[in-house]
Amino acid sequence: KFRSKGEIRNFIEQNPTLAITEQMFDFSLTSRRQRKSGSATTKKAAVEPEQQEPVPVQEQQSEPPELTNEEANNQSLRILFEDNAYKCPIEGCGKNFRRENLAQMHVKHYHPEYTKFLDSTPNVADLAYARTVGENLDKSPGPSKPPPLKQAVRTSTPK
């Protein structure tokens, strides 16, 4: 790997038989934010034809087979799973989440006008309860609390 133009010059001088010039290497820097925004606009352009309907976007995999597309669109708002992340289905938002219930809570709090289209919105108290009650089964069945310490008995020592 070459880390600088100087290393490229040295390599070219040491290997004159190779048909390599310094101009073949590009050292222009672009920030990560610019690259992400460029790819996001490309994705939006690809998604726009699907979003021409006034009804919110739906996830294709979780649709029940007995409902038609129009009935399903009117009944619920689906959280999309793309590129290993759940995406906010509201046009122009574009936030990503690790879990579907976090995306649902985002819609509930930041896009309240769309909560009527969600199937159900999780409650923070319910999620906390599920974390405490639904313990992992891989844990060893040892005692949940350490055994109580024996209290020291005071005895008088002769002087």
Pure H helices in the chain: 5-14, 32-47, 69-75, 100-110, 124-133
The whole-number average pLDDT for the span 128-139 is 65
State the average pLDDT for the chain.
68
Facing residues of 82 across strands? 85
pLDDT of residue 33 exceeding 70, the answer is: no
Map out the domains of the chain as residue ranges. 1-30, 31-132
Of 4-8, 79-83, 89-93, 147-151, the one with minimum mean pLDDT is 147-151
The whole-number average pLDDT for the span 105-118 is 84
- Comparing 45 with 100, the larger pLDDT belongs to 100
The whole-number average pLDDT for the span 8-14 is 87
Report the 10 Å Cβ neighbour count for 50. Answer: 9
Return the pLDDT at 153: 74
Alpha-carbon distance 154 to 140, whole Å? 37
| Closest listed residue to residue 58, CA positions, set 31, 81, 34 | 81
Q: Tens digits of per-residue pLDDT, 49-71?
A: 444 444 555 444 444 444 444 44
* Burial class (CB within 10 angstroms; exposed 0-12, middle 13-18, buried 19+) of 88: buried
